[in-house]
Structure 1
Amino acid sequence: MIELQQNNPLHGLKLETMVTELIDFYDWKILYAALRLECFHTNPSMEAAVKFLKKTEWARERVENFYLYRFKRMPKGSAAQFELKPRERGFFDGIMPRKPQELTVELVAEMRDKATSDYQEMKRNNSRPKYGKDKPRTQDAYAQNKRSSSNRPAPSQDPKNPWGN
């Protein structure tokens, strides 16, 4: 079991140590803005936060995900990895944590607004009829799936040079 967990920054890390690292780097206000957990907002203390997180599995997983992907900035896993709890996930050999992401309360609010608008856009796109008269007409499958913010060139039509180099 230890060999399977060697590449997980949470392996062997106590909850109190993790929360201490997060509070030292960020502060209570930023953690509350990012995680929306009352233990970081109403009379915040280390003892109360750790006690709450030990008793509440969903909150502990939220903090562990934040620690992995915002604080340690580990690469996102596959859908199968996200089915596992954060402490059960593994990473490839040689992947090392990076510097923590700098956050402010304002930046967290901007990120939350963008995520909300992206989610609403996705819901709008998925609610369109896919078949029949109301199906929107598009040029081709590539144009339909192309991101507008992407600066990537269109794929080459030359079968000998699919990368367009």
Structure 2
Amino acid sequence: MEKKISNDPLHGVTLKKILEDLVGFYGFDTLGELINIRCFNVNPTINSSLTFLRKTDWARKKVEELYVRTLPKLKNLP
């Protein structure tokens, strides 16, 4: 029996990994411009952002959508 491979680019990727990759690629300044939420613009940290994103579905969805759009660029990094 074959294992099904998920076509979902977020399959198996934690919110922490998504956030760390986006912050590493864009930085909090640009991330705050792309997604205007307070946890990216006022005293941003990974932990405070994770806390907010885990409680706020609409914000997490915006972050996940940006990650999916950014994924091809992340894969091309050395």
Pairwise TM-score range, normalised by the shorter structure: 0.7 to 0.9
TM-score, with normalisation over the residues of structure 2? 0.85
Q: Tell me the equivalent position of 2:49.
A: 49
Q: CA deviation at 1:37?
A: 1.1
Q: Distance in 1 between matches of 2:17 and 2:23?
A: 10
Q: Distance in 1 between matches of 2:50 and 2:29?
A: 17
The answer to whether the aligner puts 1:36 opposite 2:41 as a matched pair is no
TM-score, with normalisation over the residues of structure 1? 0.41
Letter in 1 for 2:21: E
Percent of paired sites with the same residue: 35
Bigger radius of gyration? 1
Unaligned runs of 5+ in 2: none
Letter in 2 for 1:50: L
Unaligned runs of 5+ in 1: 73-97, 101-165
Letter in 1 for 2:7: N
Q: Tell me the equivalent position of 1:116.
A: none
Q: Tell me the equivalent position of 1:99.
A: 73
Q: Distance in 1 between matches of 2:12 and 2:31?
A: 23
- The aligned length equals 72
Q: Distance in 2 between matches of 1:11 and 1:30?
A: 25
Aligned structure 1 segments of 4 or more residues deviating by more than 2 angstroms: none
Q: Which has the higher helix share?
A: 2
The answer to whether the aligner puts 1:13 opposite 2:18 as a matched pair is no
